[in-house]
Amino acid sequence: MIRLVSCITEQHNWALLLVAVCVCAAGNLAAVFMLSRARQCVKAHRNLWLAVAGTVLGGTIWATHFIAMLSYNIPVTYQITETGLSIVVAVAISCLAAFTALYVPGRQGAVAAGILLGLAIATMHAIGLSAISASVFMEADQTTVIAAWLLGGVFAVGSMLLLVREITGGRLVFAALLIVAAVCSHHLVSMGGLSVTPLNAGAAEALTFLDRVGIAVGVCIVSSLLIATGVAALFFDRHLTDVKGLANATFEAVVLTRAGQIVHANERFAALTGRPVAELKSLFLDDFLTDRQRSQGVLKSLDGPLPIEIVEGVIEYRGRETSVFGLRDISERLETNRQLTYLASHDPLTGLLNRRSFNSQSEATIAETRAGGTSAALLTLDLDGFKSINDVHGHADGDLVLQQVAEVLNGSFDEPAFSGRIGGDEFSVMLPGYQALEAQQAASVFMSKFKSMFGKNEKGGALGVSVGIATFPEHGDDLKQLQNNADAALYRAKSLGKGRICAFDRFLDQQVRTRRRLEEELRGAVKAKELFLLYQPIVDAISAETKGYEALLRWRHPTYGVLPPAVFIEAAEESGSIVEIGKWVLEEACRQAASWNNRLFVAVNVSARQLLSPDLFEHVTDALNTSRLSSERLELEITETSLLVDRTDVASSLEALTSLGVKLVMDDYGTGYSSVSNLRRYPFSKVKIDRTFVATLGEDPVAEVFIDCALALGKRLGLTVVVEGIESEQQRARLNGKAPDLLQGFLFGRPGVITTRIATLENVILLPKAPKPASTLR
C-alpha cells in the first residue's frame, strides 16, 4: 500500500496522470453507450456496434496506459512493434469481451465478458511494459502483479454485471466508472509493485518531459477523435435509423421528396413499385403517379394501376425541408364501397336495380329526355300466377322463377334500357329514346321470349306476364305520372284476361283508375271503421214470423256517403281485401247476433275469394268463439256463381264448417247454371231463389216454371227453400200456393239497424218499410 501511494505521489507526473484518467473516463463512457446501443439496435447493426464499442474500449485502455506511462518519471524509450502489438491485443480482446457480453446470455456472459476485459487490460499492460523493456530493467513483485490482475478483473466483472440488467443512464455511467477503476487500479497497483532501473545505454534516447507532453497530447487528440467519431455515429445512427424504422414499420408507402425528387422511400413503396430503395432515389415521385387529384391518385405499381390515397406533409429531414408523402392502398376500400353501392342499389335476388335506384335512374332519364326533346317509354310488368307457384312449389322455386324472369328481361332489352324489380313480382323497364310503337314492339319481343322460357319450364308452366306501357311526354311529364299511367294500362291488361300488353289510353284507363282508387280506399275502410252492417229479416212464409236476419254490408265513404255492396264488393274481391273485410263481417254479425233472441239465426254472405282462402275456417271459428254465438245460429250464404270452379279444398272446408253446426245456404239460385250437382256435392241446408224470378213473376212464364222447379227440387233434396225479393202483397199471394218455407224482401222489412236491449230482449228494427207488422225479435 505504501509502495502504491509513493508510486503515485513520487514516481508519476500528476498532471499527465490526471489526463490519462480523463481519457479513460471519456473513452469508457462512450464504449458503454455503444454497448447499450448494440443491445438496443436492430440485428443488422448489432455486430457493427459491438466492434466499434470493442475498438473504443481497447483504444481507451491502451491510451490510458500510454499516457500513464508517459507520466512515469523514468527515462524510457518505446519499441514500435510492442507498442503497436499492445494496441492490437487490447482492441482484439476488448472486442471479444463486447461480443461475449451481448451474445452469452445472463450473468455467466457478464462474468465471462468482465474476465476478458480484465485480461485485455492486463495483457495490454504487460505488452505495453515490454515496449519499454529495452530502456529499463524491470523486476515485478509477483504478489502485486496478482493483486493488480485480481483488482482489474473484479472491477471489470462488476461493470459488465451492471450492464446485464435494464440499462439506464446512471447504470451506464457507473459501469463506465468501474472500467475506469479496473484500468487505473490494474495500472497503478502493478506499477507500484514494479522495480524499474533505467539502463544507461538507453538514457541518451530517453524522452524528455516535453517529448512526453507532446506525445500525450497527440494520443489524447487521436483517442478523443476516435471517441468523438464513435459518439457522433451513435447519435446519427440513433436518429436516422429511428426515422427509417418508423417509415418501414408503417403499412403505408412513405416517400420523402425535395423539389419532387425522391430522397428516401420506405420498403413498402419499393415493394409496390418493384424497385430497390437505392434506385428510387434519383427518380421523381410524379413518375409513379397518374390521375392525381388532390388526395387521391393511381400508383403505377408492379401489379398494375393501384388506387391510392395521398397524405402530404412537410418535415425537416437531415437538416433540410422535405416533403413527406404517405400513399395508402385504397383498392380494398374502393372495392368495398363498390360492393356496398351495388348492394344498396340492386335487388339481391335478381341482380336488377331495386325500386329506389330504378326510380332515381328513371328520373335522370326523363330529365335528359326532356332536355333533349326526345321520348322515352316506361313498361310496368306484373307476373300472372306467380302466387300459386310460390304456394304450390314453395319459395325456393318462386325465387328461381324470379331469377329467370330477370334473365329474360336482361336478354330482351339492350342498353341504354334498364330494368328494375319494383316489388314481389312486379318489374319495370325504362326505354330511353323509345316512342310508343317501338315500345310496343320491344314489349312483344320480351313477351315472346318470356313465353318460350316459361313454356318449357314446368315450374313456371302456369306463369304469365302482363305489361303496361306509358310514354314520355304523351302520358306524363314526370316519373310519378308515367308510373301511374303505365300501372293503369297494366291493370287493364290484367283485367282483360292477363298475358297481354296494353298501352295507356286516357279514356279507357280512367275507369280503371277510379276503380283502383276505390280499392285503395277500401283497404283502409276496416281500420277506419267506415264499414257497418244492416240486417234484413227472413220470415216464415205462413206466419210471417221473423226467423233470422241476413247481414248486409255497407260502406260509409267519407266523400260519397253510404255505398251499397254492388259498388265495392267486386273491387274488394279483385284486390283481395274481401278476405279481411269478410273476416270483420263475420265477427261483427256474430257479435251482434249473440245479443239477439237465441232462436234467431244470422246469415252472412261469403264471397268466392273467401271460399278459396285457407283462412275461412279459422275466421268462422274465431268469430263464433269470440262472440260465443251458437254455431247452429250461423248461416253462410254462398252464391251459385262462386262455386263454378270445382275445388276439392273448398268442398272439404265447407264440410268442416257444417260439421261445426254452421248451415250453408245456396244464394242467388238461378243466376248461375242452376246446377243440381252443386246442391248435392256441397252440404247445403237451404237454397235461396234469386229475387229476379220474383220480380218477373206474372210477366215471364219461365220465372214461374223456374220457381216451381226450384221449390220441388228443394223439397226432394230436403232443403229449406227461401224466396227473396218479395216487395208486394201480390208477389206474396202468387207464392202462397207454391208453399215456400221462408220469404225475404222489402215487404217484410228493408235492411236496417237493430238496436238491442238484452235485458228485456226487446229489439226494434229501424228503417222498417214493410206494410206487414214489423218483425220483432223475441
Cα 242–Cα 243–Cα 249 angle in degrees, nearest 5 = 85
According to DSSP, residue 682 is labeled S
Q: Which of 335, 724, 727, 762 is catalytic?
A: 724
SS3 47: helix
Tell me whether residue 101 or residue 665 sits nearer to Mg ion (CB atom): 665
Backbone angles phi, psi at 65, to 5 degrees: -60, -45
What distance in Å separates the CA atoms of residue 131 and residue 44, rounded to the nearest whole number?
39
404 binds, among ligand C2E, Mg ion, none (CB under 5 to 8 A by kind): none
Number of Cβ within 10 Å of residue 370's Cβ equals: 14
Q: Which is nearer to ligand C2E, 131 or 534 (CB)?
A: 534
Buried b (16+ CB within 10 A) or exposed e, 216-231: beebbeebbebbeebb
Q: 463 or 533, CB closer to ligand C2E?
A: 533
Bond preceding residue 276 cis, omega within 30 of 0: no
Minimum distance between the CB of residue 535 and ligand C2E, rounded to whole angstroms? 10
- The minimum distance between CB 689 and Mg ion, in angstroms, equals 9
Residues lying near Mg ion in the complex (CB under 5 A): 605, 637, 667-668
CB atoms within 10 A of CB 558: 10
Query: With contact defined as beta carbons under 8 Å apart, do 653 and 681 qualify?
Result: no
Find out whether 685 and 719 touch, Cβ atoms under 8 Å. Answer: yes
Q: Which residues partner with 634 through β-bridges? A: 602
Q: Is 724 a catalytic residue?
A: yes
From the list ligand C2E, Mg ion, none, partner contacted by residue 588 (C-beta under 5 to 8 A by kind): none
Smaller CB distance to ligand C2E: residue 580 or 667? 667
Count the helix, strand and coil residues of the chain and give each as a percent rounded to the nearest 5.
Answer: 55, 20, 25
- Residue 604: name the closest of 671, 657, 558 by CA: 657
Q: DSSP assignment of 630-665, as one string?
A: -GGGEEEEEEGGGGSS--HHHHHHHHHHHHHT-EEE
214 binds, among ligand C2E, Mg ion, none (CB under 5 to 8 A by kind): none
- Of the pair 425, 667, the CB lying nearest ligand C2E is at 667
Interface ranges with ligand C2E (CB under 6 A): 536, 552-553, 564-566, 569, 582, 585, 605, 607, 637, 667-668, 691, 724-727, 744-746, 751
- Choice between 605 and 731, CB closer to Mg ion: 605
* Closest separation in Å from C-beta 604 to ligand C2E: 6
Q: Pick the closer one to Mg ion by CB: 135 or 607.
A: 607
CA angle 767, 768, 770 (to 5 degrees): 150
Least separation in angstroms between CB 688 and ligand C2E:
7
* 725 contact choice in Mg ion, ligand C2E, none (CB below 5 to 8 Å, kind-dependent): ligand C2E
Residue 746 binding result from ligand C2E, Mg ion, none, given CB thresholds of 5 to 8 Å by partner type: ligand C2E
36 binds, among Mg ion, ligand C2E, none (CB under 5 to 8 A by kind): none
The residue sitting closest to Mg ion, measured at its beta carbon, is: 637
Least Å from the CB of residue 642 to Mg ion: 11
Read off the amino acid at residue 693. Answer: F
Residue 133: count of CB within 10 angstroms of its CB: 14
**Within a 10 A sphere around the Cβ of 204, how many other Cβ atoms?**
9
Q: With CB cut-offs between 5 and 8 Å by kind, which of ligand C2E, Mg ion, none does residue 565 bind?
A: ligand C2E
Question: Which residues, at least 6 apart from 656, have a Cβ–Cβ distance to it below 8 Å?
Answer: 617
Q: Characterise 168 by phi-psi region: left (phi > 0), alpha (psi -120 to 50), beta (else).
A: beta
Min CB(702)–ligand C2E separation in Å: 19
> Least distance to ligand C2E from the beta carbon of 774, Å?
15
> CA 697, CA 614: separation in Å to the nearest integer?
40
Q: Which of residues 197 and 641 has its CB atom nearest to Mg ion in the complex?
A: 641
Least distance from Mg ion to the Cβ atom of residue 688, Å: 5
Report the catalytic residues: 724
